[in-house]
Chains A and B, each alone.
Chain A
């Protein structure tokens, strides 16, 4: 432990001045009313000092109205002080945070930059995927099938489960209402229209964004930070063509199929409620479903699903390619890719609904 006393304008510190004793001593000395009057600091009886002790001495000296010398120290204390002495350190002030106007301005600029970059990426992807349909050079063999399995087949169980639950729940909730009016058969209309027009594409898109959007973003981001993308470029391969195009093709194929699957399972969930809770007959239910679903609905639903799929791939690869920093950056890129792709899917869904009304 260390102690201090102030006598005849001399601050005498004794004992061991280390990171344990400094914690207490520092505030004690600062509060001492004679502290500001001292002429020098004496370390005559100091046995030991470490970097915390030296930092404390420097802080004390800088807090005085005029600099004072440190005297009477042993060789070893002197050595340690000479290593850790820090009064002559250059000041480097903390960088200032941007003000509200600067922050808004740079947010707008960044947003438009990002939008532009995303457009460029979109055009690249679309160009190379059209070229890639006929010319398979520059792509890995079998990558389309592999991606199809990853994005499409592997997603089947979770899409089935969620669509079933959603179809089941919506039907259950509406069935109690419909029953009051004896409008039981309209359950079929309700579930068919909502699954085909809205829920099928939307639910599938959200699942795919969560599963594959994040996978695409993190895969590309990892490739970028580990310089794999640069390696591809150095082998004269276009990274978009090599990495993104197979995913783009796969998702374009798989998404409509997944949506179709989701719609069927959702309607099946509703059908269980219709048959067992509302006592509808199977034939009546299916008849009503088919009657109410126009070809136009299905076409729009498929169109939606393809647009959503493209959005997910484009957003995912955009944030993947944008990554900076190491592992930290990969995590950030993945998170933001999922958030933005789900957001953009929902916005696009709203736009589709508006067009549909016209």
Chain B
């Protein structure tokens, strides 16, 4: 799981390399020539105004949308033209938490978590059950094991979905607006969990979020997208000094929320 022993140092390996990525919906250009690296063992936060292309950026990296042009490398392998089977092997090392959890509604939480474990490994049943229960315990949901997703609140769904995303011990974890619709306490707990995952499991984490409080807690590196263009890439302290108008506006307005 932890291949890079220097993950704490400045010379971390990039796990994702994006070069000249362009994404379009029809004629509309959503992402315009984005190039950046995402490093191992770091929390990278993607910021930007609504409609700025943040979710599209995530979806293009993991090929839920096909990029219009450009290159995306995950674990040093070019994925944009990769065949489905090879890409599936990469996806097993990647987890994603969707905005609304995206749990399968017809089966209970336990079975939702079993899906990746049963489909992608040959683990014995008792080990699987133990892993599922532990992962749910990590997100404080032990009591919800046999409940259906429709019986959970929004925050619980999100945590259950997180447990599913980490079921296979991924090396990269994507979060699409983890704190949207959560109260500040739950959202802070989720941030704690993100930091735990980073520190203990050395997972590389990419987060799309608007919450300034959350950014202060978790971010190692910040990517700022505005109208489809990359306007800033660097640390949080540097971001505050960034001369770009929208970045300035974001930190100025956000602080008083």
A: residues with CB less than 8 A from B are 18-20, 22-23, 26-27, 48, 50-52, 54-56, 58-59, 76, 79-80, 83-84, 86, 89-90, 92, 94-95, 324-329
A interface secondary structure, majority: helix
CA distance A56 to B148 in the complex (A): 27
CA distance A328 to B137 in the complex (A): 27
Given contacts A27-B124, A328-B106, contact A95 B146 (CB under 8 A): yes
Q: Are B133 and A89 in contact (CB under 8 A)?
A: yes
Given contacts A89-B137, A325-B148, contact A76 B2 (CB under 8 A): yes
B residues less than 8 Å from A50 (CB atoms): 1, 169
B residues less than 8 Å from A51 (CB atoms): 131, 134-135, 169
Beyond contacts A19-B169, A22-B127, A80-B1: 19 other A-B pairs, Cβ-Cβ < 8 A, are A19-B121, A23-B121, A23-B124, A26-B127, A48-B1, A50-B169, A51-B131, A51-B135, A55-B131, A58-B130, A76-B2, A83-B200, A86-B133, A89-B137, A89-B142, A324-B150, A325-B148, A326-B150, A328-B106
Whether B6 is near chain A, meaning CB under 8 Å from some CB there, is no
Q: Are B196 and A83 in contact (CB under 8 A)?
A: yes
B residues less than 8 Å from A18 (CB atoms): 1, 169
B residues less than 8 Å from A326 (CB atoms): 105, 150
- Enumerate 13 A-B pairs (CB-CB under 8 Å) in ascending A order: A19-B169, A23-B124, A51-B131, A51-B134, A51-B135, A55-B127, A55-B134, A83-B138, A89-B133, A92-B142, A324-B150, A326-B105, A326-B150
B: residues with CB less than 8 A from A are 1-2, 105-106, 117, 121-124, 126-128, 130-131, 133-135, 137-138, 142-143, 145-146, 148, 150, 168-169, 196, 200-201
Given contacts A51-B134, A86-B133, contact A59 B142 (CB under 8 A): no
CA distance A27 to B137 in the complex (A): 26
Q: Are B146 and A79 in contact (CB under 8 A)?
A: no
Please give me the residue from chain A that is nearest to B123 by CB atom: A23
Q: A19's contact among B105, B123, B135, B142, by CB below 8 Å, is which?
A: B123
B residues less than 8 Å from A86 (CB atoms): 130, 133-134, 137
CA distance A340 to B155 in the complex (A): 36
